[in-house]
Structure 1
Amino acid sequence: MQTPEERLAELGLMLPAAISLPPDLHLPFALINVRGDRVFVSGHPKQTSEDAIAGPYGKVGADLSTEAAALAARDIALSVLANLRAEIGPLSRVAGWSRVFGMVNSAPGYDQQHLVINGFSDLIVDVFGAEVGRHARSAIGVAGLPMNFAIEIEAELSLA
């Protein structure tokens, strides 16, 4: 059976370095919070391969297309996996994804949030397989996100 890291390599994907927050950014919470066999993933934006927070910024449906936003959501999954691996070690420790909550900074009238967050969900299922990667999910439109991010995604999962 393939490990998640082997599956990522097969897909031609590399995880970025674990996120490095700007020194002037104070976050009074953990990006990855492990409590026993449960893991809570705080809202993540996209990041660069060098570990810095990156866009996209602005409103989906105005500044960003649904297709571009779905690709960014896929990249957010890579960011989550990088930070998760930095915290727990091998991704094969993940026993199951429980819940994903996607927020899309939406232009007025935009109603394709579910398609945007599919970029995240599809990658998780592809990397972990249908049984481990299967999760409940919400995808909502919001009037704004911190730092004007276009997308922010949080999750809950369990460890073996």
Structure 2
Amino acid sequence: MSPEQRLAALGLALPTVTTPRGNFDAWVLDGHTLYLSGKGSPLREDMDSVPKVGREISAAQARGHAREVGLHLIATMQQALGDLSRVQRVVKVLGMVNATPDFMQHTEVVNGCSDLLVEVFGEAGRHARSAVGVGSLPRGFAVEIEAIVRVKD
């Protein structure tokens, strides 16, 4: 089953890739390596306050944010490659969680993205990963995630 077929089976549609709000690109393809810029939790756009994980939102809610970010990363892969079947392997994911100092469930939050990548790409979606807590993120995002992907010709 292709990644596009897996997305359809999951009932997921890829969102529109937005233009970065700065002097950088959403993605860079260098040979067989696709670098995806950090993407913030899109659900943030609908919130009135800065969501601090462990205070305003729970780990479970932030996990939903991370899953949504994963969907945006996949949409960016689609834009960059034209065909998600060109993804050979998701190599590395870095997840940053805007959390209170005593929050300790960063890995559970970023699992929202990691689980989606495996659901869509199978074993090729398994990756090395870091999940870290930060004091703030751009635009008040609860979660920001970036990825490195190995690409087939």
TM-score w.r.t. length of structure 2: 0.92
Equivalent-residue separation in structure 2 for 1:135 and 1:64 (angstroms): 27
Gaps of 5+ in 1: none
Quote how far apart the aligned CAs of 1:108 are.
2.1
Contact 1:45 1:54 in 2 (8 A): no
Are 2:139 and 1:147 aligned?
yes
The structure 2 residue matched to 1:31, chosen from 20, 26, 50, is 26
Instruction: Give deviations 1:55-80, integer Å, cap 9, x for gaps.
Output: 66421001111001101100101111
The structure with more helix, counted as a fraction of residues: 2
Contact 2:36 2:76 in 1 (8 A): no
Identity of aligned residues (%): 41
1:11-160 alignment runs, 5 A limit: 11-21=10-20, 25=21, 27-47=22-42, 54=45, 57-130=50-123, 132-160=124-152
Instruction: Give deviations 1:74-119, integer Å, cap 9, x for gaps.
Output: 0101111112211210111000010000000011200100000000
Quote how far apart the aligned CAs of 1:47 are.
3.2
Q: Secondary structure, in 3 states, of the residue corresponding to 2:78?
A: helix
- Once structures 1 and 2 are overlaid, which stretch shifts more, 114-123 or 53-62? 53-62
RMSD of Structure 2 on Structure 1 (CA): 1.5
Q: How many residues align?
A: 150
Gaps of 5+ in 2: none
Quote how far apart the aligned CAs of 1:4 are.
0.5
Q: Secondary structure, in 3 states, of the residue corresponding to 2:92?
A: strand
Inter-CA distance 92–127: structure 2 relative to 1 (3 Å threshold): same
TM-score w.r.t. length of structure 1: 0.88
